[in-house]
Chains A and B, each alone.
Chain A
Amino acid sequence: MAQLKAQWAFQADTIATGRGFESTPLVIDGVIYLTGANGNAWAIDARTGRQFWRFRYPNAPDLTAGATYPVNRGFAALGNQLFMVTLDAHVLSLDMRTGAVLWNEVLEDYKNGYAATPAPLVVKDKVIVGSSGGENPTRGFIQAFDAKTGKKLWRFYTIPGPGEKGSETWPSSEAAIRGGAAAWVTGSYDPELNLVYYGTGNPNPDYYGEERAGDNLYTCSIVALDADTGQLKWHYQFTPHDTHDWDSNHVYVLGDVPIGGQTRKAVMVANRNGFFYVLDRATGKLLLAKPFTDTKWAREIGPDGRPIVLNPDGVKDCLPDFWGGTNFMPPSYDPVSKLFFVTARETCVTYFAVKPEIKIGQVSVGGGVRRVADRIFDYGALRAIDPSTGERKWELRYTTPSLAGVMSTASGLVFAGDNEGNFTAVDARTGKPLWHYPTGTSIWGAAATTFMLDGKQYVLIPSGTTLVAFALG
């Protein structure tokens, strides 16, 4: 590990209100495809870090949700086409060789509070994209396009329409229609079951729940959709009637997990609410749920799959903050050591609600949090969880909560990052740090990428607005 050395750095000249790269780069045939803040994207030589082309999207001056979080979380690729989304809620296809726009389709009208930030998901001949904008009164959805033409195919609304199953979990269609449930993190796909799995975000208003009594389906849930038709196969709601902004927008990890003497086709997630879940990914049946943080929110997840909430607002004993026990940064599962690795956050706040004014195109969060203890007591950790039992196996502590993603390798390494900027490799079995490199600023949202080129193994990490490449020797 001592031979893992920096090879080059690529610096993007885009700084968007403190947000840098939040995307995990794609590497195809020696070329890195990477998106950044404010509608920028690049093709970069993987050998040297030199640019091939740069793409700049002309952002509208009157962005709504896109102005609040001017980030982008990456490309998808198919053949010679790249796909990305924009802050004004468009979906683009670019020519991989030139960065020229092949098609540009409206996902939704951004003036109504929508934006788009996730990397699209390519499934067969379709491009699938979820909506962003759950802090605004919007109705979340997942949309499929024809990859060649950009033609709109199916759309699944993450909030049921009037009379549809699940609509009974809202007090009125008026509350439901602006009830949030954005799908702002890329889904996962199981080709054998032909299902796509997407997480859904907070109900809106985030903290003020009085005018949306009920479970508020399908907010804070996972939905499994038929990839061809967008039809809902099953769902599971992690946080019914959430009032903490605990989106379930995560990278859902598919793996074969031994549980109760049986190997199950599972989908795993460490949720923002502080619990780690394993579900049967064919049926949605809950197989296991255990806290992976020290959360005081719920005692356990009951046999009916619902949390037994002890402490809804953190007044009795403080709760994880609105960033949650973890967030959108990718976790990882190692099928060799059979461990799940996640960046966990330990924080301590109370929540308060304020009735918001609902106005289309404007933020309506309806409250916020108050720090109970001094921030000095907050911390982060890379944790290893045994998905067969939910037990924590080891942790590597960070001095502050981190939002860095995780990558594990077949050789038994886990690459992770911290808020202090360290890019770290640890032993997957023990959690012992083997190597680290101080990148100089927080590693935030992105996970490492690894690839082989000219017989050399490379590792990439985006940090701030810099992409750093490492290789052995």
Chain B
Amino acid sequence: MLRRILFVLVVFTLGARVAPAQTDVANGRGLFQTRCADCHGIDAKGVHGPDLTVLFANGATDERVFQTIRRGVPGSEMPASNAPDAEIRAVIAYLHSVGVRVPDAGNSSNLANLSNGERLFNTSCTTCHRVNGRGGVLGPDLSRVGAARSRALLTQDIREASAVIAPGYQAVTLVKTDGGQVRGTRKNEDAYSIQIMDTTGQLQGYRKSGLKTVVSEKTSLMPDFAAARVTAR
């Protein structure tokens, strides 16, 4: 019966660390594994949601984390939570217990490749993807993806574009009763209708009574970028 409650990223202000009681940590671990681990990983190191072990090292405060859990992050996959205050505080206590003390300073070689990455991104990705208001709309907005996904997962997402396709971006081809075809990404679907963005970026809804078939494609509209095409560096 538990509703799933997930966690996302956070916020950087200064804050004091309060030593939590051990029972809170144990209780918080259980709650975290039940409600948060789907996105943030069983060890809080992040999967589809961000790594939370660096949260406090990066300056988050208990109060900000509390509010993030309570209110969720609008526009992200992180929902608001209606859990009792004590449960949220227990989860925060658990996050302190697994927190690393040194913030992730990044890797200087990554910084060196920043401009190269930007050039590659602009030539290969912006037709479909948008960053900070620039780029296409057929694929997901990537402005926040660096904070929300681990580096390993991001690399895998680029290498094997079809392994995990974000909801709302699955490729479909609609075959109309007159034989015409429309290809696009599936925004929504029910038993009687389907809503897509076609490959020209146009939103359009179709009644299934006017369609011969809806072909759900296994592969993403996004191509794979194999190591031969784009190196890891």
Contact = CB atoms under 8 A, between A and B. Distances in A.
Given A68-B83, A135-B1, A374-B165, 16 more contacts: A17-B3, A245-B1, A365-B2, A365-B30, A365-B34, A367-B33, A371-B38, A375-B167, A376-B165, A397-B191, A399-B189, A399-B191, A420-B191, A422-B191, A436-B192, A438-B190
Interface residues of A, number: 38
Interface of B: 1-3, 23, 26-27, 29-30, 33-35, 37-38, 82-84, 86-87, 164-165, 167, 170, 188-192
A370 B37 contact: yes
B31 to A, nearest CB: 8
Contact of A398 (B37, B84, B170, B191): B191
A399 B37 contact: no
Most buried by A among B38, B82, B83: B82
Contacts of A438: 190, 192
Interface string A273-311: 000000000000000000000000000000000000000
Interface stretch (A122-130, A352-360, A385-393, A446-454): A352-360
A8 B198 CA distance: 36
Main DSSP-derived SS at the B contact region: mixed
Nearest to B83: A68
Most buried by B among A135, A363, A367: A363
B89 to A, nearest CB: 12
A135 B191 contact: no
Main DSSP-derived SS at the A contact region: loop
Nearest to A202: B1
A367 B35 CA distance: 9
Nearest to A359: B27
B2 to A, nearest CB: 6
Interface string A120-147: 0000000000000011000000000000
28 contacts: A17-B3, A68-B82, A68-B83, A69-B1, A247-B1, A354-B30, A355-B30, A356-B30, A357-B23, A357-B26, A363-B87, A365-B30, A367-B30, A368-B37, A370-B37, A371-B38, A375-B167, A376-B167, A376-B170, A398-B191, A418-B191, A420-B188, A420-B189, A420-B190, A421-B190, A433-B191, A436-B192, A438-B190
A299 B37 CA distance: 31
B87 A424 contact: no
A422 B192 contact: yes
Contacts of B2: 135, 245, 322, 365, 368
Contacts of A68: 82-83
A355 B87 CA distance: 16
A96 to B, nearest CB: 32
A39 interface: no
A374 B164 contact: yes
B154 to A, nearest CB: 18
Contact of A17 (B35, B82, B167, B188): B82
A251 to B, nearest CB: 17
Contacts of A424: 191
B33 A352 contact: yes
A468 interface: no
Given A135-B1, A399-B190, A354 B29 contact: yes
Contacts of B35: 368
B30 A396 contact: no
Interface string A94-136: 0000000000000000000000000000000000000000110
